[in-house]
């Protein structure tokens, strides 16, 4: 595509001013109702070094209320970012509903710099493209407008600009050896960038390639593209039509799930108390050793606990962490989202809590709430929970592929055993706080929950992230099984 571009395109000052003025008014007029409709807007500006990324953004924000947008300048990752999976630093920066996030460079530059390298760069590229496409599709499905620009200049033009900046005292220190290295490899990068752009140019997140030789032409083209796209989106919303991308539920929910996961609540083995205690102590010590090895090898580990009310999640977690070094793990209890969390994509709040390299995060309930409680209680639309299966699978795959460990437990109890535990709690003054009216209400919807659980297990048991069913009618058995599962995971890793 690049060879067809006319890099000599120009706009004279008079035309620029004439055409820019109405656009500047229009952008102010457009952003307000989009904010009221709670539409998140993502603008990505990429391009060659010295192609004018900062200039374009300066122009763009001139007439946007500075309180309405955030600008993220994406350079080399810092320690914290390096210790997390690739998407983490981007997912945590997505805009809240109604806000604008502008990215000066983005996941594209970082993919090229961090993931597409070495002998195996072609496969790195393929996996980068898949990760990015699902990331952007998820945001678009959630109602976001995504605009992506690539500022294109010729190798000669780039050389001139780098030379010029080096001559200027105020800017010379900004030009690094890396900039020149990149310049010398312009011709080898060109086809890679072209392929990258081609493969990520989607209706819900289109690229605009901008002939960026002339600054008037460049700014005007970007501005006009943004205004046009926002206008189109707003028109569609205001005419009551379906929002672009919003909730289009791309998951093919009619296809029968590949895996049927069998739930069982009865323990296949019964342990006596002394047996249990001696197994427990030995397992807990092994788990501590695994924790040290994870830390030493800088592997992050997520452990997800899901299960029926009173299945014993809390007690199980306490036994799992009993001998762990408390500096290396976190237990995150997931409850109702707060307003800031509701203002973002529902996966956003979980990304915030992802473990860094060498650490363990235990989620007591998790993102699966979307397809369980939110589905059953109607806290989200059917389209939303239906598309969540794919979103969750993609998130877990990207995380595992980036080197993270993931263990998912479903704690199964029978309906009778749950009843016994509820009654127990009600009668014991020390345990009464554990049982609420909501627990009884949930129990009343056992069948609806059961349907949701079965579909969840079937649709989200993937090779990368299988579910482990923990038979939990017998607490001894359940506790030992989670410990043993973690030991098995450790054994696999360190063989």
100 binds its own copies (CB under 8 A): no
Question: Is 340 one of the binding residues for its own copies (CB under 8 A)?
Answer: yes
Q: Which of 4, 67, 167, 255 binds its own copies (CB under 8 A)?
A: 67
Contacts for 233 with CB less than 8 Å, ≥ 6 apart: 34, 39, 145, 243, 244
**Angle at which helices 437-444 and 446-460 cross, to 10°:** 80
Helix (H) or strand (E) holding 163: helix 155-167
From the list 293, 292, 273, 319, the residue with the least C-alpha distance to 478 is: 319
Q: Is 299 in the site for its own copies (CB under 8 A)?
A: no
> Residue 76 or residue 447: which is nearer to its own copies going by CB?
76
CA distance 147 to 137: 13
Query: Which is closer to its own copies, CB of 317 or CB of 411?
Result: 317
- Establish if 304 lies at the interface with its own copies (CB under 8 A): no
Q: Is 263 in the site for its own copies (CB under 8 A)?
A: no
Nearest distance from C-beta of residue 40 to its own copies, angstroms: 17
CA 136 to chain centroid, in Å, comes to 10
For position 176 contacting its own copies by CB under 8 A, the verdict is no
The interface region with its own copies, picked from 74-82, 203-211, 301-309, 467-475 by CB under 8 A, is 74-82
Give the total of residues touching its own copies (CB under 8 A).
39
Q: How far apart are CA 6 and CA 22, in angstroms?
A: 26
**Is residue 65 close enough to count as binding its own copies by CB under 8 A?**
yes
| Interface with its own copies in residues 234-253 (CB under 8 A) | none
In the shown chain, the binding pattern of residues 345 to 384 toward its own copies, with x for contact by CB under 8 A and - for none, equals -----------------x-x--------------------
CB of 313 to its own copies, least distance (A): 10
CA distance 465 to 353: 18
- Which distant-in-sequence residues (6+ apart) come within 8 Å of 471 by Cβ? 264, 265, 266, 267, 268, 412, 477, 478, 481
Residue 296 binds its own copies (CB under 8 A)? yes
Nearest CB to its own copies, comparing residues 246 and 479? 479
Q: Is 429 in the site for its own copies (CB under 8 A)?
A: no
Q: Considering only residues 170, 258, 268, 273, which one is a binding residue for its own copies as defined by CB under 8 A?
A: 170
Q: 178 CB contacts (<8 Å, ≥6 apart)?
A: none
By the rule CB under 8 A, 32 interacts with its own copies: yes
> Which one of residues 236, 286, 322, 443 is an interface residue with its own copies (CB under 8 A)?
322
Which of 488, 491, 486 minimizes the C-alpha distance to 329? 486
The full DSSP string for 249-317 is: --S-TTSPPS--PPP--S-SS---HHHHHHHHHHHHHHHHHHHHHHHHTT--EEEEEEE-TTS-HHHHH
In degrees to the nearest 10, what's the CA dihedral of 45, 50, 55, 57?
20
Query: Shortest approach of its own copies to residue 245 CB, angstroms?
Result: 27
Footprint on this chain of its own copies (rule: CB under 8 A): 32, 54, 57-58, 61-62, 65-67, 70-71, 73, 78-80, 102, 104, 170, 173, 289, 292, 296, 314, 317-318, 321-322, 325-327, 330-331, 333, 338-340, 362, 364, 433
């Amino acid at each position: 595509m690049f060879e067809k571009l006319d890099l000599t395109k120009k706009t004279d000052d008079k035309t620029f001013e004439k055409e820019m003025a109405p656009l500047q008014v229009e952008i102010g007029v457009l952003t307000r109702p989009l904010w009221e409709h709670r539409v998140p807007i993502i603008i990505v500006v990429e391009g060659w070094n010295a192609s004018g990324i900062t200039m374009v953004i300066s122009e763009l924000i001139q007439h946007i209320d500075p309180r309405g947008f955030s600008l993220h300048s994406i350079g080399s990752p810092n320690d914290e970012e390096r210790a997390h999976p690739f998407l983490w630093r981007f997912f945590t920066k997505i805009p809240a509903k109604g806000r604008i996030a502008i990215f000066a460079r983005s996941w594209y530059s970082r993919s090229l710099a961090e993931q597409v390298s070495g002998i195996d760069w072609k496969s790195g590229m393929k996996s980068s493209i898949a990760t990015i496409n699902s990331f952007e599709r998820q945001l678009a499905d959630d109602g976001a407008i995504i605009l992506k620009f690539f500022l294109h200049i010729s190798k000669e033009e780039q050389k001139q600009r780098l030379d010029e900046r080096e001559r200027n005292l105020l800017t010379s220190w900004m030009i690094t050896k890396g900039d020149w290295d990149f310049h010398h490899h312009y011709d080898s990068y060109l086809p890679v960038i072209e392929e990258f752009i081609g493969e990520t140019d989607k209706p819900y997140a289109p690229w605009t390639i901008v002939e960026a030789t002339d600054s008037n032409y460049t700014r005007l083209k970007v501005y006009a593209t943004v205004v046009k796209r926002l206008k189109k989106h707003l028109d569609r919303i205001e005419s009551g039509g379906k929002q672009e991308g919003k909730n289009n539920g791309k998951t093919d929910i009619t296809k029968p799930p590949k895996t049927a996961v069998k739930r069982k609540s009865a323990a296949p083995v019964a342990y006596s108390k002394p047996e249990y205690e001696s197994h427990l102590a030995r397992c807990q010590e092994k788990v501590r050793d695994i924790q040290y090895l994870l830390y030493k090898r800088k592997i992050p580990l997520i452990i997800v606990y899901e299960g029926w009310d009173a299945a014993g999640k809390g007690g199980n977690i306490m036994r799992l962490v009993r001998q762990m070094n408390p500096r290396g793990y976190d237990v995150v209890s997931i409850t109702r989202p707060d307003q800031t969390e509701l203002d973002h994509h529902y996966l956003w709040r979980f990304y915030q809590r992802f473990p860094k390299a060498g650490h363990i995060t235990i989620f007591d309930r998790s993102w699966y709430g979307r397809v369980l409680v939110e589905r059953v209680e109607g806290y989200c639309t059917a389209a939303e929970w239906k598309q969540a299966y794919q979103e969750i699978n993609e998130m877990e795959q990207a995380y595992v592929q980036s080197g993270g460990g993931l263990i998912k437990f479903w704690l199964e109890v029978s309906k009778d055993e749950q009843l016994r535990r509820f009654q127990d709690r009600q009668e014991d003054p020390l345990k009464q706080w554990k049982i609420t009216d909501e627990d009884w209400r949930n129990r009343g919807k056992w069948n609806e929950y059961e349907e949701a659980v079965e579909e969840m297990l079937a649709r989200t048991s993937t090779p990368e992230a299988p579910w482990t069913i923990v038979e939990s009618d017998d607490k001894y058995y359940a506790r030992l099984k989670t410990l043993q599962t973690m030991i098995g995971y450790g054994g696999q890793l360190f063989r």
